[in-house]
Amino acid sequence: MRKLIALSLASFAGFSYAASNVVQPDNEYVAFQQFDNEYNIGYATTSGNLTNGNTGGVNNSQFVNLEIEHLFNMGVWFDVSANLLTYYSQAVDPAVGSLGSTTGSQPNFGGINASVGYAFAVIPNHLLLIPYGLIGRNTNLSSYTLNNAGTTTNLTQDYFWTFGVGGRLDYRINDVFDVYLDQSAVYNSSQAPVTQGLAPNDNYLYTTTLGAKFNVWRDLQLGARGFYQNSYYTQSLVGSGASVWVPQSAVGGLVSIGLTY
The DSSP-derived string for 32-63 is HHHHHSEEEEEEEEEEEEEESSS-EEEEEEEE
Q: What is the mean pLDDT of residues 1-10?
A: 47
Average pLDDT for 139-152: 80
2 strand-pairing partners: none
**pLDDT band at residue 91, thresholds of 50, 70 and 90?**
confident
Give the count of beta carbons closer than 10 Å to the beta carbon of residue 156: 7
Specify which residues 116 forms β-bridges with.
Answer: 78, 133
Question: What is the pLDDT averaged over residues 19-27?
Answer: 47
Q: Is the pLDDT of residue 94 over 70?
A: no
Which tens digit of pLDDT belongs to each residue from 181-227? Answer: 999 999 999 999 887 777 899 999 999 999 999 999 999 999 999 99
**100-133: pLDDT as tens digits:** 555 678 899 899 999 999 999 999 999 999 999 9
What is d(CA 74, CA 88) in angstroms, rounded to the nearest whole number? 42
- Can you give the C-alpha Rg of the chain in angstroms? 25
Q: Which residues contact 124 (CB under 8 A, 6 or more apart)?
A: 28
What is the predicted pLDDT for the residue at 65? 98
pLDDT at 231: 96
Q: Tell me the average pLDDT across 58-87.
A: 96
CA separation, residue 241 to residues 128, 137, 199 (Å): 48, 27, 11
Phi-psi region of 160 (alpha: psi -120 to 50; beta: other; left: phi over 0): beta
Amino acid identity of residue 254, one-letter, is: L
pLDDT of residue 57: 81
Q: Give pLDDT, residue 53.
A: 63
- pLDDT computed for residue 15 by the predictor: 39
pLDDT exceeds 50 at position 23: no
Ordered by where they begin, the domains of the chain are: 28-260 (2.40.128)
pLDDT band at 96 (very low <50, low <70, confident <90, very high): low
CA distance 121 to 128: 5
CA distances from 182 to 54, 101, 133, 170 (A): 32, 38, 13, 8
Question: Which of 73 and 20 is assigned the larger pLDDT?
Answer: 73
d(CA 169, CA 120): 10
The kind and range of the H/E element at 95 are none
pLDDT at 153 exceeding the cut of 60: yes
Which comes out higher in pLDDT, residue 4 or 181? 181
* d(C-alpha 38, C-alpha 23), whole Å: 24
Report how many helices (DSSP H) and strands (DSSP E) the chain contains, helices first: 4, 11
Entry pTM? 0.85
Sign (positive/negative) of CA torsion 144, 149, 154, 155? Answer: negative
